[in-house]
């Protein structure tokens, strides 16, 4: 456990600046210090100078190697950014009494039939290089800093970046039909929901250490998610959208994906009072913002 001084004015430092989660954190609290790779490369830099220069109260690691297919050909890069770097940062925070919060993924589970919803104590069995690097990162962070807080989240999305949401809407904007997998199921997470949870945890009088699951809301397949997005953007599309459900086998990829990674988030609710987000409530705002940005 780590306790915050009641009159603490120290800032919260976010590692990462351009990603969806980092930008959602900054939007939620403009006083945050967001640090991009040009200032600190998590994969290789010693964090001591950064931490000593800013003397933050808490550090939220929003940087990660998230190219799931790319990691298959770059296991060293994924391991450096998702495991070695976060562990080094967690250790440096521990030595300075700085709170450390880290984000992991539902992909640490294999999605075997009947296994979900997963509790935090469930056995992990990652199916691809990316997922192994994230699971290794969880272990390394907690070994380096037992007071650290790790939140597992799934399918993070927002209006920015090369997300699944933007990929399908780009096709629809060009009048192209869609085939979307219906047999991969989890809980989509609106980035601002996760950002608010992380900030609330970082600012608590007592921050619980350990590993927790954050739920983004109702469970859905990628096909369900795509249908919800189409319903909200229908009037903006040039032609009537065509979307067909397909099995994952229709889209062979370098990295195998788990099929059902729904997570049980009751432990976080019981320990902190922080409940699930609501991706269905966030999706209209994301789509509206996306089309506003395209006009600028």
Residue 234 buriedness (CB in 10 A; 0-12 / 13-18 / 19+) = exposed
Interval 29-77: pLDDT, tens: 989 999 999 999 999 999 999 999 999 999 999 999 999 999 999 999 9
Quote the CA–CA distance of 24 and 158 in Å, as a whole number.
8
Residue 238 has pLDDT above 90, yes or no: no
Helix, strand and coil percent figures for the chain, each rounded to 5 = 40, 15, 40
Q: How confident is the model at residue 92 (pLDDT cuts 50, 70, 90)?
A: very high
**Which of helix, strand or coil describes residue 78?**
helix
- Tell me the catalytic residues: 130
Burial 237-269 (b: 16+ CB within 10 A, else e): eeeebebebeebeeeeeebbbbbbbbbbbbbbb
pLDDT at 175: 87
The stretch 112-133 carries a mean pLDDT of 97
Residue 1 has pLDDT above 60, yes or no: no
Q: How confident is the model at residue 163 (pLDDT cuts 50, 70, 90)?
A: confident
| pTM (predicted TM-score) | 0.93
Q: Which of 85-89, 233-237, 242-246 has the lowest mean pLDDT?
A: 233-237
Choose among 12, 29, 35, 294: nearest CA to 169. 294
Q: How confident is the model at residue 9 (pLDDT cuts 50, 70, 90)?
A: low
Give the CA distances from residue 213 to residues 143, 161, 225, in Å, rounded to whole numbers and listed in that order: 19, 24, 20
pLDDT at 296: 55
Cα dihedral value 74, 122, 217, 142, nearest 10: -60
Compute the radius of gyration of the chain from its Cα atoms.
Answer: 19
pLDDT at 22: 95
Q: Which residue has the higher pLDDT, 145 or 1?
A: 145
Q: How confident is the model at residue 241 (pLDDT cuts 50, 70, 90)?
A: confident
Interval 254-284: pLDDT, tens: 999 999 999 999 999 999 999 999 999 999 9
Q: What are phi and psi of 248, to 5 degrees?
A: -60, -25
Residues in the chain: 296
pLDDT at 113: 95
Q: Which domains does the chain have, with CATH numbers?
A: 2-161+188-216+262-279 (3.40.50.720)
Q: Which of 82-91, 94-103, 238-247 has the lowest mean pLDDT?
A: 238-247
% residues pLDDT > 70 (the chain): 95
Contact 109, 253 (CB under 8 A): no
Contact 109, 125 (CB under 8 A): yes
The stretch 237-253 carries a mean pLDDT of 90
């Amino acid at each position: 456990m780590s306790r915050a001084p009641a009159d603490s004015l120290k800032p919260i430092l976010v590692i990462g600046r351009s990603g969806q989660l980092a930008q959602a954190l900054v939007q939620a609290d403009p006083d945050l210090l967001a640090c991009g790779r040009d200032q600190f490369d998590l994969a290789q830099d010693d964090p001591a100078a950064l931490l000593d220069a800013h003397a933050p109260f808490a550090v939220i690691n929003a940087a990660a190697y998230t190219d799931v297919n790319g990691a298959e050909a770059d296991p060293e890069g994924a391991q450096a950014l998702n495991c070695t770097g976060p562990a080094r940062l967690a250790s440096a925070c521990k030595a300075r009494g700085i709170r450390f919060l880290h984000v992991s993924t539902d992909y640490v589970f294999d999605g075997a039939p009947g296994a979900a919803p997963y509790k935090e104590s469930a056995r992990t069995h990652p199916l691809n290089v990316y997922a192994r690097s994230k699971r290794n990162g969880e272990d390394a962070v907690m070994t380096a800093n037992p007071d650290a807080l790790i939140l597992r989240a799934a399918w993070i999305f927002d209006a920015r970046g090369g997300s699944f949401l933007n990929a399908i809407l780009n096709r629809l904007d060009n009048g192209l039909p869609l085939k979307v997998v219906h047999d991969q199921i989890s809980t989509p997470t609106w980035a601002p929901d996760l950002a608010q949870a992380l900030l609330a945890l970082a600012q608590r009088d007592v921050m619980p250490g350990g590993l927790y699951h954050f739920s983004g809301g109702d469970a859905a397949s990628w096909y369900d998610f795509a249908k919800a997005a189409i319903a909200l953007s229908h009037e903006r599309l040039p032609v009537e959208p065509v979307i067909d459900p397909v099995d994952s086998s229709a889209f062979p990829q370098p990295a195998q994906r788990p099929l059902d990674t729904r997570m049980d988030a009751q432990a976080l609710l019981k320990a902190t009072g922080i409940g699930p987000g609501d991706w269905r409530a966030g999706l209209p705002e994301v789509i509206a913002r996306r089309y506003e940005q395209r006009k600028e």
